[in-house]
Amino acid sequence: MCPDIEMGNLYSLRGLVLTIMIVLTFCLGLTSILAHLGDVAQAITSEERDELKEEARDMFYHAYRAYMENAYPADELMPLSCSGRWRGTEPSRGDIDDTLGNFSLTLIDTLDTLVVLGDLEEFEHAVKLVLKDVSFDNDVIVSVFETNIRVLGGLLSGHILAEYLQQRAGILRWYRGELLQVARDLGYRLLPAFNTTTGIPHARINLRYGLKTPKLESSRETCTACAGTMILEMAALSRLTGEPIFEEKAHRAMDELWKMRHRSSDLMGTVLNIHSGDWVRRDSGVGAGIDSYYEYCLKAYILLGDERYLGRFNKHYSAVMKYISQGPMLLDVHMHRPHTNSRNFMDALLAFWPGLQVLKGDIKPAVETHEMLYQVMQRHNFIPEAFTTDFQVHWGQHPLRPEFLESTYFLYRATNDPYYLEVGRSVLRSLQKYARVPCGYAAVKDVRTGMHEDRMDSFVLAETFKYLFLLFADPADLVLDLDEFLFTTEAHLLPLSLARNSNTQLLRRDVPELN
């Protein structure tokens, strides 16, 4: 997906970026950047790369075994308590608990990581556990977005890889598509969320009762990313089952969101009313609340072959680079006044953006923004949840997010520049030094103090350790040919062959594109 790049030009580009950062050092006092210059010369040998790959593997198993031995079948591991987190038994943490549904979230989210690591025996065991223990017939309200990307995506990827390994490795001979049936059951439980005036889905759903609960009947608002990050998983479910309704619903939601863009700036806001289609918050950026909507515009084109999504992405991308991209930084603006910043800090979720730029083939700004983020990481050991334009902490939490590693991995794949292996080594060392505890890995409550939080989100196993392992792994040694797959926003693997399993004739997608 990326143009060929002359390595000399790339190294010159990085040198330019580092020169800019040195100037910033004198202006802003970013002394950690100068310390970084000495690290660049520490090239990683092939032997050390292999050692780092094995250390990344060990990190995954330290966390995975802690979950399986102390938390399963609970949704998540609490690494400080060394016990499982169940919905409704632990004190409420607010909206973050909507990720949990008492459906063994971490195991489902981790299925394809086991395959990426080549542990086919444990993958088969995990599939059997999911089929034996998981039920979605629970009276619990969950996030539609999180359940879609983590659980539905994990089940679909698990099914696809089970069939892949059945055909190519001769294992799981007993498997007859059972995970797909579990995914289909979940898909139908999510469908009532789309019953709105606009077709844009509710933010939450009750897995047993749909919208027929007092808490949900009056719900009105959702975020752009929440509504716009359904198309890959829903389309995959339709194309694998032959039932077009899932893809139809997700396409309609994307069409409605496209209508809501600001017509002069082509930017999107972050929070909207699902019934009226009016914006509630008009802040526009590429981080929290909007990030994966842009990601799925491009990836819907790649996975499904629907060119209207490429057109939409290109319009949005041009707007982001015109208004939001300010040098290596990405600062929120008002969608209706795009020359006016709406805040003076950035959030950690925007770290996915350089990886998406790689997928588009726009390498230069990807290198620049990634380098800026690396300086933030070096200053604070991790990228805090929010940081100011002079790299001070705005919100110090770090839940071991994967986005920076994701971009590091894709930049390395695109450029083959060993610098990104060095970046990965720095991330690995921070995780080992500041997050590893006897029972897994603990989120950092505040990067300024290093205090831990009793939390290990499922994405640590689904994404963080997956990208860390892949960064150091030789693609030739993997049991999968990753060039045959697309990574979802949760790093689940969907096959590019789905474009051939098109339900286009059933979906009536022949209407002209909206202006």
> Catalytic site residues?
146, 291, 385, 403
Q: Structure pTM?
A: 0.91
For residue 146 the two structure tokens come to: 């999180």
Write out pLDDT tens, residues 258-297: 999 999 999 999 999 999 999 999 999 999 999 999 999 9
Can you tell me the distance from the alpha carbon of 216 to that of 195, in angstroms, rounded to the nearest whole number? 12
Question: Over 50: is that where the pLDDT of 8 sits?
Answer: no
Angle between helices 231-241 and 153-168 (to 10 degrees): 50
Binding-site annotation, residues for Ca(2+) = 489
pLDDT at 25: 35
Q: What's the whole-number average pLDDT of the chain?
A: 91
Question: Over 50: is that where the pLDDT of 499 sits?
Answer: yes
Question: Quick check: bond before 495 cis, omega within 30?
Answer: no
Question: Over 70: is that where the pLDDT of 308 sits?
Answer: yes
pLDDT at 332: 98
Write out pLDDT tens, residues 344-360: 999 999 999 999 999 99
Write out pLDDT tens, residues 145-154: 999 999 999 9
Give the Cα-Cα-Cα angle 280, 147, 97 (nearest 5 degrees).
75
Question: Quick check: bond before 399 cis, omega within 30?
Answer: no
Q: How much is the CA Rg of the chain, to the nearest whole Å?
A: 22
Q: What are phi and psi of 359, to 5 degrees?
A: -60, -35
pLDDT at 219: 87
Question: Over 70: is that where the pLDDT of 122 sits?
Answer: yes
Can you tell me the distance from the alpha carbon of 150 to that of 153, in angstroms, rounded to the nearest whole number? 5
Out of 40-49, 249-258, 302-311, 404-413, which region has the weakest mean confidence (pLDDT)?
40-49
Binding-site annotation, residues = 489
Greater model confidence, 510 or 66 = 66
Write out pLDDT tens, residues 353-379: 999 999 999 999 999 999 999 999 999
Question: Over 80: is that where the pLDDT of 252 sits?
Answer: yes
From residue 55, alpha-carbon distances to 122, 431, 435 in Å are 19, 11, 15
Sign for the pseudo-dihedral over CA of 225, 227, 230, 232: negative
Cβ neighbours of residue 218 closer than 8 Å, sequence gap 6 or more: none
Give the Cα-Cα-Cα angle 120, 177, 166 (nearest 5 degrees).
40
Write out pLDDT tens, residues 176-229: 999 999 999 999 999 999 999 999 999 999 999 999 988 897 889 999 999 999
